[in-house]
Amino acid sequence: MPGASTIRLVVVDDHPLFVRGLELLLPITSEGRAEVVASTGDAAAAAALVSRCHPDLALVDLHMPAPGGIRAVAAIRRTTPGVRVVAMSGSADPAPALEALRAGAEGFLPKTSEPEELLPPLLAILDGWAVLPAGLLRAMLRPTHATSVDLDGEERRLLRAIAGGRTTVDIAEELHVSERTVKRMTAALLRRLRVSTRAEAAAVAGHTGLLGD
């Protein structure tokens, strides 16, 4: 849990003005609870930088020169699995965001987000939740084909809550179980869907129609 401590971020982005804006505005808009400790515009150097700095979060722009942001996401997850990765993009195309989630990103935020809007989703990601903008989530939840995974009603409720970014406490209250039970149920659901993160579960559910009525 991050508590009141400062969230340390590494930014991987080849747009200096965007990076500088985050460096200046994040500490102000978060009242000192978030700061950029390092940055690079070289996707190939991202994993090494994150490994050296050991931040809480890495923000990675998906649209960077080769090897690109998605490979940077995968490299960071491979070399420093304890660091959570947030993909960012200025494009409305959901395809790169989905690829980033498959590569190991725990969330996606549009680069049009205002600095003062960033702290709540960053805190949620640190708490273990997937964070996706509503437009991307709707695109991902568009059914495309049937699935062989047959979920019962409680599992579907859990999956909807996960896809909606609900907290463990909220889900426990909704399902009338303990927080520990929610964590156990979530782990079992991820195994059933053959994914490793909540973000991947939401993506798989959307593309297979698991959230349909």
What pLDDT score does 51 carry?
97
Is 87 in contact with 107 (CB distance < 8 Å)? yes
What pLDDT score does 146 carry?
40
- CA-based torsion, 57, 63, 65, 70: positive or negative: positive
User: From the CB of residue 171, how many other CB atoms can be counted at a distance below 10 Å?
Assistant: 22
Are β-strands 84-89 and 57-61 bridged in parallel, bridged antiparallel, or unpaired?
Answer: parallel
Is 62 in contact with 70 (CB distance < 8 Å)? yes
What pLDDT score does 141 carry?
63
What pLDDT score does 3 carry?
45
User: From the CB of residue 32, how many other CB atoms can be counted at a distance below 10 Å?
Assistant: 11
The closest alpha carbon to 60, from 163, 138, 198, 75, belongs to 75
- pLDDT tens digits, one per residue of 16-50: 999 999 999 999 988 899 999 999 999 999 999 99
Which CATH number does 7-131 carry?
A: 3.40.50.2300
Residue corresponding to tokens 């996706």: 132
Q: Which tokens belong to 33?
A: 């609870």
- What number of CA atoms fall less than 13 Å from residue 207's CA on the CB side? 12
What pLDDT score does 210 carry?
63
Domain boundaries, the chain: 7-131, 141-208
| pTM, rounded to two decimals | 0.65
Q: Does domain 141-208 have CATH number 3.40.50.620?
A: no
What pLDDT score does 142 carry?
59
Task: Output the CA angle 116-122-128, nearest 5 degrees.
Answer: 160
* DSSP string across 135-163: HHHHHHTS--S--S----HHHHHHHHHHH
Residues of the chain predicted below pLDDT 50: 1-3, 144-147, 213
